[in-house]
Amino acid sequence: MMYSLAPHVELAERGGEHLLVSRTPLCVLRLNRSLRELVARGLDGPITPVSLAEQEVLEQLAGKGFVERLRESSEQPTDQPAVSIVIPVKDREDELARCLASLNRIKYPKERLQVIVVDDGSTDLSPVLAQLYGAKVVPSGGTGRGPAAARNVGARAATGEILAFIDSDCTASPGWLSELIPAFSDPRLAAVGGYVDGMCRESAVDRYESVMSSLSLGSRERTGSSGDDTFYLPSCNLLVRRGLFNAVGGFRDEMHVGEDVDLTWRLRDQGWTIGYLPAGRIYHEHRSSVRSFMSRRFDYGTSEGTLQRLHPQRRKRMVIPPLLALLLALGLATPFTGGWSLLLAFCVLALDVTVVKARLVRRNVPVGLTELFAGRLRALGSLVYYLCFHLVRYYSLMIIAAALFFPMLWLLFAAALACAGRVDYSVRQPDQPFPAFIAIYALEHLAYGSGVFWGCLSRKTFASYRVVLLRQMEASA
């Protein structure tokens, strides 16, 4: 693994001290001599760690956004591990044939591959097609037991060191395994997930799902180990060490949604690391009708009650610094105070920036007033977005119901929806006009939030609605 300084980061020296300065987001890190020497190697090209200690330090810097990981095809291990690909299926002969055909095109030594199709009681030709493609077919032990139970059966029949899970309605890119397998050179890594892309672009829902699917984790690498955050890996593109998969008991047979969340959280609870790479692409045939789309989002939402029962220590977390909370409150009060609150908010912001600037000047940190103002405004904007997103995601149903009696709440709902939707539209850049996007966006959150409420009600726990509020960004890392 090699590393490089992130594009928005510079190495600076002020008053005999060495600093790493990130412009977006605005962050400064003071370096000791050894760390400065390590980082300075990145000024002349990629940094290659020469010891495990150096790699651990660089991984910490990567987690904070100061450096980026560089992954090259040359990192392929000389002794590539044996991989068992597990595919659960029930009555999807056409989709399965398409999936198996794509697996024949992946760039990985064929003698190191085992393809296992677990038939969950199909009445069509799925088992026959699997045999024609050379896959090992095993019965799930019942009919309609669900993907989690079927994957466990496949794992028990596997011989590979690595289990690679893919769904029958997916296809794999040629580089699926070759781009993800090198991540297992890290002995602490238990599982790695890859990029999930949409297969179709015909309908409005297809175009929405291509950028907003809950199965796609975006374009930024992520890792998670111990801790109580909610980062997980979807099972439709998931590679796991077979020994560790078995050690934690695999998927829970009885779970039909959220089983991948549960599995990867249990791996993390055991002290292992999971990682996501925006590589190793697979293509998923998302549900393209509005009805099926909303039904699936509702199903996903119902898993939250079960997951909170199984993992009560994990909570949604939101960073709300007191000053930003005050500025937001003053801004919201503006329509009722004739603008005095807005003026006061600007004065509070100016005073804060001035105080911070004075502290930075005393410490010889090279950050200007313009950058400080921009950084504070970006932080305030992020806070507004996350509050609006959470409100729309979890409380849409309740707000709409209450708005029937208190019409002013329609304005609150519309404002929160427009704010969160506009940010996601600008960041994700879907191939569709904003009105179509925001309409599907609203339906998604309404369906998911309804599922969360039903799941919590049926499990007799509403812990999913409790949010841990943090004062500082560092506490959420």
Confidence of residue 114 (pLDDT cuts 50, 70, 90): very high
pLDDT tens track for 127-138: 999 999 999 999
Closest of 231, 193, 238, 195 to residue 213, by C-alpha: 195
Return the SS3 of 425: helix
Amino acid at 365: V
Q: Please state the CATH superfamily assignment of the domain spanning residues 76-288 in this structure.
A: Spore Coat Polysaccharide Biosynthesis Protein SpsA; Chain A (3.90.550.10)
Copy the structure tokens of residue 466.
Answer: 């409790």
pLDDT at position 43 is 84
pLDDT tens track for 346-357: 898 888 888 887
Over the chain, what is the mean pLDDT?
89
pLDDT tens track for 147-206: 999 999 999 999 999 999 999 999 999 999 999 999 998 888 999 999 999 898 889 999
Mean local confidence (pLDDT), 304-320:
88
Containing 359, the helix (H) or strand (E) segment is helix 340-362
pLDDT at position 77 is 56
pLDDT tens track for 366-377: 778 888 888 888
Read off the pTM.
0.86
pLDDT at position 78 is 59
Q: Which residues contact 145 (CB under 8 A, 6 or more apart)?
A: 120, 121, 253
Residues linked to residue 295 through DSSP beta bridges, in sequence order:
none
Dump the DSSP string for 401-416: HHHTT-THHHHHHHHH
Does the pLDDT of residue 473 top 60, yes or no? Answer: no
pLDDT at position 476 is 35
Lowest mean pLDDT among 59-73, 161-175, 331-345, 438-452: 59-73
Confidence of residue 100 (pLDDT cuts 50, 70, 90): very high
Measure the CA–CA gap between 413 and 460, rounded to whole angstroms: 27
Closest of 312, 242, 316, 226 to residue 274, by C-alpha: 226
Measure the CA–CA gap between 457 and 461, rounded to whole angstroms: 7
Copy the structure tokens of residue 465.
Answer: 């609605």
Does the pLDDT of residue 228 top 90, yes or no? Answer: no
Does the pLDDT of residue 98 top 90, yes or no? Answer: yes
Measure the CA–CA gap between 331 and 347, rounded to whole angstroms: 12
Measure the CA–CA gap between 411 and 389, rounded to whole angstroms: 15
Computed on alpha carbons and rounded to an integer, the radius of gyration of the chain in Å comes to 25
Cβ(260)–Cβ(235) below 8 Å: yes
Confidence of residue 75 (pLDDT cuts 50, 70, 90): low
pLDDT tens track for 9-57: 888 887 778 888 887 777 888 888 888 888 888 888 888 888 888 888 8
N- to C-terminal Cα separation, the chain: 23
Copy the structure tokens of residue 166.
Answer: 């893919």
Phi, psi of 422 (to 5 degrees): -65, -40
Phi, psi of 431 (to 5 degrees): -85, 65
Q: b/e string for 136-155 if b means 16 or more Cβ within 10 A?
A: bbbebeeeebbbbbbbbbbb
Mean local confidence (pLDDT), 323-350:
86
Copy the structure tokens of residue 292.
Answer: 């099926």
Instruction: Kindly tell me the burial class for residue 409, based on how many C-beta atoms sit within 10 Å of its own C-beta (0-12, 13-18, 19 or more).
Output: middle
